Amino acid sequence: MPTRKSSKPAAKPNGTHAPLTDSLGNTILIGDCRLVLPTLPQVQQSQVDLVFADPPFNWNRDYDQWKDDMPREDYLTFTYDWIDLCARALKPTGSMVINIPDDTAAEIVCYLKGALARKPAHQMHMVNWCIWHYRFGQNRNGSFINSKVHVLYFCRDPLRRTWNPTQVLEPSDRATTYGDKRTLSKRDGMPPGMRVPMDVWYGPFWGRIQGNNKERKAEHDNQLPEVYLERVVRCASNPGDIVLDPFTGSGTTAVIARNLGRTFLGSEFSADNARRAFQRMLDGPTRPLGTSINASSSIVKTRKALVIPKIKI
């Protein structure tokens, strides 16, 4: 594979900002992740257990300071640079999970698979290509309404990766919907009636954080649901582990990681976002952790269905 040019990191946003750190070592650095993350010893020494990244999508969104409208080639170079940086930061048992829409999912998968051939020391393996499905996509009628984001789950070593399935189980449809007693005597080592979630993620608490959603934080319209990060952090890291998020945003990864006893390291380009995320991390999650992670995702009948007038076709 040919070598490529690296991207040019953006200058610090409006001056110099000290890192935000609590007494446990949970830290948010302010600045371009490509500049600030390499200053961390845990990154230099490949001590990170889990990377979760929800980058800017280059959709010209208002991220306070970050300009979200790069030429496509520059955006791809930026993407590959932060991925390289994060892959190098991982331990051999570590994993990387990337939240990315249709536009760039294929490029990232190809890049990570290509990186396998190019840099054996930092090779990554795909564990799952999951989908986060939500019902309230932006309305449109010129094409199908978008209702998903890709959740790309890669690891350094498939035989050694940290994987805690029993931390993220949900009731099986056999138990909740079909009354199938066979699910009560399972032979796969999982508790009766419970299963590892499927690779399409949806259900109660999994909607986009919009409007008057209880979880919504002021000044953010790109927040992920807490249950999403709870699933990722629980299944792919252990208490005491280091969780890194290069694009902290409103602090969803930070609040979940810290409150599950992990050490959070993050970067955020906007100083205002970083301060709010830090406060959110200290304040704690919207619902006590453990209360929504095991909810059933079975597609059940609506109890009070509306009567919809028949259409002519």
The verdict on 104 binding ligand SAM (CB under 6 A) reads no
The verdict on 171 binding ligand SAM (CB under 6 A) reads no
Q: Could you say which of 79, 183, 263, 273 contacts ligand SAM (CB under 6 A)?
A: 273
The verdict on 20 binding ligand SAM (CB under 6 A) reads no
Pairing status of strand 20-21 against strand 27-30: antiparallel
Instruction: Give yes or no for a contact between 63 and 270, defined as CB atoms under 8 angstroms apart.
Output: yes
Is the CB of 33 or the CB of 257 nearer to ligand SAM? 33
Q: Could you say which of 132, 153, 205, 247 contacts ligand SAM (CB under 6 A)?
A: 247
Ranked by CB distance to ligand SAM, the top (closest) residue is 249
Site for ligand SAM in 62-81 (CB under 6 A): 63-64, 66
Q: Could you say which of 47, 222, 263, 297 contacts ligand SAM (CB under 6 A)?
A: 222
Half-sphere exposure (Cβ direction) of 87: Cα atoms closer than 13 Å: 25
Distance CA 167, CA 308 (A): 41
Is the CB of 247 or the CB of 264 nearer to ligand SAM? 247
Joined tokens for residue 246? 């290069």
Is the CB of 249 or the CB of 285 nearer to ligand SAM? 249
Q: Could you say which of 26, 252, 259, 263 contacts ligand SAM (CB under 6 A)?
A: 252
The verdict on 267 binding ligand SAM (CB under 6 A) reads yes
Distance CA 143, CA 96 (A): 32
Distance CA 296, CA 168 (A): 11
The verdict on 286 binding ligand SAM (CB under 6 A) reads no
The verdict on 241 binding ligand SAM (CB under 6 A) reads no
Q: Is 183 left (phi over 0), alpha (psi -120 to 50) or beta?
A: alpha
The verdict on 27 binding ligand SAM (CB under 6 A) reads no
Distance CA 175, CA 181 (A): 7
Rg (CA), the chain: 20
Is the CB of 35 or the CB of 169 nearer to ligand SAM? 35
Look at the block and give the residue holding tokens 């810290």.
Answer: 258
Q: Could you say which of 42, 167, 223, 292 contacts ligand SAM (CB under 6 A)?
A: 223
Instruction: Give yes or no for a contact between 176 and 200, defined as CB atoms under 8 angstroms apart.
Output: no
